[in-house]
Structure 1
Amino acid sequence: MPAPERIPSRSLSGTELLTLLAEGELTVRGQVRGASNAVLYCTVGHEGEERTCVYKPVAGEQPLWDFPDGTLAQREVAAYEISEATGWGLVPPTVLREGPYGEGMCQLWIEAAPDGSADGDADSLLALVEGEEPGDGWKAVGFAEVGEGKTALLVHADDPRLRRLAVLDAVINNGDRKGGHLLPAPGGRLYGIDHGVTFNADDKLRTLLWGWAGEPLTDEAVAVLGRLAADLAPGAPLATRLGELITPAELDALRARVAALVATGRHPEPSGEWPAIPWPPV
């Protein structure tokens, strides 16, 4: 989609952005093509401020055999709530609201850093390389077919931003962490988007970020997970909010995943009971 024409007049706080997304007038400007569910490119205006955003109406969701119908938008909001609780800010501001096509998820549009800029692009985070070793600064994911009977090693950058995202994905049980869901932004920020297939009570973790599988978590991650465990205790504000977005069984499974990460102190490994890498990977 093209960059928005209107330049924001001032910087907004996180609370102000959420208010804008939740209460502003939502106007559909176009559709993001190629998505399996309806993804609409919009502007949202409130009290003289306007931003671009993504609106995913529940009515545009395709049914999935392993998720309750009409729940993907809520899961996107739940992923944002967990991201904010970690303090890492890995998911753009996201709310659940009414829109032109009914209730849906509304998320701030993040302009990606220009390709080749100092902030990098998605190609600087993922690569296919020859040989059996990832090379300095990279972590191996596994071998992939590249045509004509040839294979290449799929690798991702040994980047602390990606490592935080790998922890977040393990917590929310992300079933679809593809390369196209990594969004490097100006200023060195990295966001993850498209979190509709998350929080399943069964193990569904599928990701391109397996490079740290089995390795010890960072001290930072251990501390964050400890705080998150407390925030998820029954009756805590975060737990109450999540109870409005996911099922009781899914909330219990979320607590269990966090407790397991704290207990092992390690990044999870593929279970072997579910495809470990999403398809297509990008």
Structure 2
Amino acid sequence: MPAPERIPAGRVSPASGADAMELLTRGELTVRGQIREASNAVLYCTVAYEGETAACVYKPVAGERPLWDFPDGTLAQREVAAYEVSEATGWGLVPPTVLRDGPHGEGMCQLWIEGSEAEADSAELLALVEGEEPGEGWKAIGFADVGEGRTALLVHADDVRLRRLAVLDAVINNADRKGGHLLVASGGRLYGIDHGVTFNAEDKLRTLLWGWAGEPLAAEAVEILRSLRGALEATQPLCLRLGKLITGAEVDALRARVDALLASGLYPAPSGEWPAIPWPPV
């Protein structure tokens, strides 16, 4: 299949909410190309409904590569579950995402986010710096081998958008938060993508966003977590929707992670029991 040709996103913006969800759910899905860098099948598509057209990503379940630590054929559902939890926080950190039938069977369909071309809107979120201190406005992640026996300090921005994403990742137990999964849209809005390896009942958090590890949670985050905990009660709509996407044990573990964050009042820190940073990191 040919590489995808960029297609205008029509009159639907990433912030279109219910309109985008209706378009993704009801629209006619047409495959335009394949994104070959991905480990699983990722198809670049257009979706059209009642005169509206948008670009989107379609990941059919049939194209998922089996993983030893996640049940086969569940990655698409986990991507949708990540969107559901993101929406429940009110932060809108995951693009509109649905589970639907497509040309290659059931799969995840997510609105395509066009990266900002404006330098002011796409300010660096990750960097390599000399020395052992991150510098003002940056948080240290760890040292990286840059070749010829040299190392540099890998840092991420001390940015409220990333702080929110760090909380979301801790909640959904994201096992693969790489730099390439951060998208800055026009206007500076940050999105996280690729949430197939999330919601495992065992602790799997692997991320680049460790800069706040052990620090007190922002007051905003505490308020959001309290609200989210209420939405995760068994009879609440969010919990019922999640129960159709992930297992009961995984829903229980999700509640437990929220409880643990609220009890500690701190951003999580690496446990030391497994690699804390995904590979490759970017």
Amino acid at match of 1:52: A
Structure 2 CA distance for aligned equivalents of residues 9 and 108 of structure 1: 9
Give the superposed CA RMSD.
1.4
Q: Partner of 2:152 in structure 1? A: 152
Structure 1 CA distance for aligned equivalents of residues 271 and 248 of structure 2: 24
> Would you say 1:52 and 2:41 are equivalent positions?
no
Structure 2 CA distance for aligned equivalents of residues 174 and 6 of structure 1: 28
Give SS of 2:258's match: helix
Deviations 1:212-251 (A, max 9, x none): 0000000000000000000001111100000000011110
Structure 1 CA distance for aligned equivalents of residues 268 and 120 of structure 2: 32
Q: Partner of 2:185 in structure 1? A: 185
Q: Partner of 1:37 in structure 2? A: 40
Amino acid at match of 1:83: S
Deviations 1:68-121 (A, max 9, x none): 00000000000000000000000000000000000000000010001x522015
Structure 2 CA distance for aligned equivalents of residues 7 and 22 of structure 1: 16
Amino acid at match of 2:18: T
Amino acid at match of 1:170: A
Q: Partner of 1:87 in structure 2? A: 90
Instruction: Give the 5 Å matches for 1:125-140.
Output: 125-140=125-140
* Conservation of the 8 A alpha-carbon contact between 1:3 and 1:111: no
> Would you say 1:28 and 2:31 are equivalent positions?
yes
> Would you say 1:72 and 2:70 are equivalent positions?
no
- Over 3 Å counting, the alpha-carbon distance change for 1:161 and 1:6 in structure 2 is closer
Amino acid at match of 2:230: A
* Conservation of the 8 A alpha-carbon contact between 1:74 and 1:96: yes
Percent of aligned pairs sharing the same letter = 75
- Over 3 Å counting, the alpha-carbon distance change for 1:10 and 1:39 in structure 2 is closer
Amino acid at match of 1:148: E
Instruction: Give the 5 Å matches for 1:169-208.
Output: 169-208=169-208
Q: Partner of 1:117 in structure 2? A: 119
Give SS of 2:135's match: coil
Structure 2 CA distance for aligned equivalents of residues 33 and 281 of structure 1: 18
- Structure 1 residue 7, shift from structure 2 partner: 3.7
Structure 2 CA distance for aligned equivalents of residues 19 and 209 of structure 1: 33
Give SS of 1:153's match: strand
Structure 2 CA distance for aligned equivalents of residues 6 and 167 of structure 1: 30
Give SS of 1:41's match: strand
Amino acid at match of 1:79: A
Question: 220-229 vs 2-11, which deviates more?
Answer: 2-11
* Conservation of the 8 A alpha-carbon contact between 2:79 and 2:97: yes
TM-score (norm 2): 0.96
Give SS of 1:155's match: strand
Give SS of 1:206's match: coil
- Over 3 Å counting, the alpha-carbon distance change for 1:3 and 1:166 in structure 2 is same
Amino acid at match of 2:261: L
Structure 1 CA distance for aligned equivalents of residues 173 and 159 of structure 2: 21
Give SS of 1:176's match: coil
Structure 1 CA distance for aligned equivalents of residues 259 and 13 of structure 2: 41
* Conservation of the 8 A alpha-carbon contact between 2:59 and 2:109: yes
Amino acid at match of 2:211: G
* Conservation of the 8 A alpha-carbon contact between 2:5 and 2:33: no
For structure 2, the 5+ residue unaligned runs are: none
Deviations 1:120-140 (A, max 9, x none): 15xx00011110000000000
- Structure 1 residue 9, shift from structure 2 partner: 7.4
TM-score (norm 1): 0.96
Give SS of 2:187's match: helix
Which runs of at least 4 in structure 1 moved beyond 4 Å after TM superposition?
Answer: 9-12
